[in-house]
Amino acid sequence: MSFAGRWETESQEGYVEFCKLLGIPDDVIERGRDYKLITEITQDGDSFTWSQLYPANHKVTNSFTIGKEADMETIGGKKFKATVNMEGGKLTAAFPNYLHTTEIVGGKLIETSKAGSVVLKRTSKKI
């Protein structure tokens, strides 16, 4: 299944609770609450480049190959190593404080980030 394309946030659930759990300041949470995040994904077989454009033109780009450890960066600038795996058509990666899963369902990009019982679910449409 191809994740490639340009995607725009359509809806998100659990945003505020998830951001607070990660220690994101309230003013930053408020700016991002209704922001239509743009995600650009290029895919060449098992290799991906994944960019997300946040408010104030802040862009985070991570490149990785399925099953191989890669250098990654969070929106907050924290750098870490992670291995992205593909399981049943879903991409999964363990970030420092949460597990992130991405899949295509009904033509939509569904991203789910889970930290304990707190879940952020973001649904994006292809643009």
Side-chain-side CA neighbours of residue 57 (13 Å): 0
* Dist CA 3 CA 85 (whole Å): 14
Under 8 Å between Cβ of 38 and 7: yes
pLDDT-based confidence at 1, cuts 50/70/90?
A: low
Under 8 Å between Cβ of 37 and 9: yes
**Domain spanning 5-126: CATH superfamily:** Calycin beta-barrel core domain (2.40.128.20)
Question: How confident is the model over 10-40, as pLDDT tens digits?
Answer: 999 999 998 888 888 898 888 778 888 899 9
- pLDDT score for 109: 97
Question: How confident is the model over 94-118, as pLDDT tens digits?
Answer: 887 889 999 999 999 999 999 889 9
Long-range Cβ contacts of 2-5 (<8 Å, 24+ apart): 2/43, 2/104, 3/41, 3/43, 3/48, 3/91, 3/102, 3/104, 3/109, 4/41, 4/42, 4/43, 5/40, 5/41, 5/126
